[in-house]
Amino acid sequence: SRHQMYRKVYAHKTALGFDWLLREAINEVLDDPENFEWVDTCLSDMAYFAELTDNFFWEAFRKVARKHPKSFSFCIVNRVKLNHLDTREDLSARGIERHSVWLAAELALNPSQVVTCSMRARFSNIQDNFNGIKVLVREPIHRTRSLKKITDVSAFFSKFSDGTITHFYTRPDVTTGNQGSLTE
């Protein structure tokens, strides 16, 4: 599927941000003992496996979102995205932590507001066909935009080997109580 391509091959910021939100929302759903027991039954007994559907989770997300409008489930139901701040490649765990703290300090955020998602990305060397393409790039602190050659801003076009891409985001405002006018 296209989503898997954006996730697994490109480690795209929107796809990985959605994955992060989805994991958090699933954890909220599984905090309910009844939901946890049902999911455990479906995964433990093949006779019930077919009963664990997307619809089960969508309804569970809606239920959590109604009860808790500051939840990640609310974000899934209402298509609230993570705010992407920056992307870095091949950082160590310590490097990710340092960059998160730096972004938080520069943006006057509580460090717990900065979340990350990392994934190994598969690359090929296809730079020659893409040298003339330019993309709009946003500077992470001042948020100014400028056009840059795609080969200068994306390692995808110059890599021969796999690498790890880490995206940095802020938590959705609705989960922190800064949601403004968004309601279910």
Write down the domain spans for the chain: 2-123+161-175, 124-160
Among 62, 36, 39, 37, CA closest to 52: 39
pLDDT band at 96 (very low <50, low <70, confident <90, very high): very high
More confident position, 112 or 160: 112
CA distance 68 to 32: 13
Q: What's the rounded mean pLDDT across residues 75-98? A: 94
Q: What's the rounded mean pLDDT across residues 163-178? A: 88
pLDDT band at 164 (very low <50, low <70, confident <90, very high): confident
Q: Which amino acid is at 19?
A: D
Assess contact for 134 and 98: CB atoms under 8 A. Answer: no
Lowest mean per-residue pLDDT among 24-38, 80-94, 158-172:
158-172
SS3 119: strand
165 has pLDDT over 80: yes
183 has pLDDT over 80: no
CA distance 157 to 106: 30
- Structure tokens given for 22: 């989805």
Q: What is the pLDDT of residue 48?
A: 95
2 has pLDDT over 60: yes
Assess contact for 41 and 48: CB atoms under 8 A. Answer: yes
CATH of the domain spanning 2-123+161-175, picked from 1.20.1250, 3.40.1000, 3.90.1570, 2.60.40: 1.20.1250
Assess contact for 65 and 24: CB atoms under 8 A. Answer: no
